[in-house]
Amino acid sequence: MKLWGSILLILLVFTSCAPHKPPIVINKLPDARSPSPTPRSSNEHIVSKGETLYSIAWGVGQDFHTLAKWNEIHDPYTIYPGQVIKLTPPETKRKSDTSTLSSKSPQKSETNTAISITSNSENDSQVVKSSDRSEPASMDVGSVSASNPVKRWRWPSKGKVVERYRPAVGVNGIRISAAVGSPINAAAEGEVVYVGEGLRGYGKLVLIKHNTTFLSAYAHNESILVSEGQEIEGGQLIAKMGSSGTTKTMLHFEIRKDGKPVDPLDYLN
């Protein structure tokens, strides 16, 4: 017993004399699967994987050309995950600032200054009007629309229209009911600019750009048979009807003109 007591005492003394090591702290790396960071304000959108400028513009009810202009994004409108997209126009220098600076000029030139401001104001209005005329041309809006009009709008699916266009209650298109797996066809020729499930309330969605003015949407699909960037013909099979993102089997179909919903029944024939 004395021997064991001595050994225990020696161990205690040795342990108390050993240098104390601080605990090891492991910094946890951020999860690559974690959601995108929260936007700094409601006027911004942070791009998530799979989104396109067209889907973002559609989700906020804006024309894709407008978002492209505000963010200085050029055709073919490529964006990247993590990129911040402005949803409101950038701030511009107010004319009142110019007026304030002019008011600080010497008194003897006040009359000339007033004339100069009036003249600049007139020139500014002319520049704006000139810009309004030239801007569509620079973005090929007028030329593309004229050279690539929608030849014909076709019904996207055979079935019963169970919901009409009622934007006042949030129905920005029409809803067509048919059997699961029924064919869904492109309403007109164009380019597929979005395929995915990133827009809340649309389920598996296809967006088609027909020209610089018109886009169409095909929502709640069971399966999608086309891919982004694909050129398609009017009437081409693009998906099969389902109930993704909803509780009923149906196609939710929309047409938007310059980013704003219009009644599809005014176009389909």
CATH number of the domain to which 60 belongs = 3.10.350.10
The reply to whether 80 and 165 lie within a common domain is no
State both tokens at 213.
């003015």
Residue 268, SS3? coil
For the chain, percent of residues with pLDDT exceeding 90: 42
The number of folded domains in the chain is 2
192 falls within a domain: yes
55 has pLDDT over 50: yes
Measured CA to CA, the distance from residue 12 to residue 8 in angstroms comes to 6
23 falls within a domain: no
| Residue 234 amino acid letter | G
For the chain, percent of residues with pLDDT exceeding 70: 64
244 falls within a domain: yes
Beta bridge partners of 214: 257
The reply to whether 256 and 165 lie within a common domain is yes
Domain boundary among 86, 120, 144: 86
CA 170 to chain centre: 19
24 falls within a domain: no
CB atoms within 10 A of CB 239: 26
Place of tokens 């040795």: 14
172 falls within a domain: yes
For the chain, count helices (H), then strands (E): 6, 13
Name the region of 181 (left: φ>0; alpha: ψ -120 to 50; beta: rest): left
State both tokens at 256.
């938007």
CA 105 to chain centre: 46
The reply to whether 260 and 172 lie within a common domain is yes
Average pLDDT over all residues of the chain: 74
Print the domain residue range for 261: 160-266
Residue 216, SS3? strand
Domain boundary among 86, 115, 137: 86
Q: Residue 62: which pLDDT band, with cuts at 50, 70 and 90?
A: confident
Q: Which pLDDT score, from 0 to 100, does residue 110 have?
A: 41
- 3-state SS, 109-133, equals HHHHHHHHHHHHHHHHHHHHHHHHH
Measured CA to CA, the distance from residue 181 to residue 224 in angstroms comes to 11
132 falls within a domain: no
237 falls within a domain: yes
DSSP class of residue 99 equals: H
The reply to whether 178 and 261 lie within a common domain is yes
Most confident of 110-124, 137-151, 172-186: 172-186
What is the CATH classification number for the domain harbouring 208?
A: 2.70.70.10
112 falls within a domain: no
Domain boundary among 86, 109, 140: 86
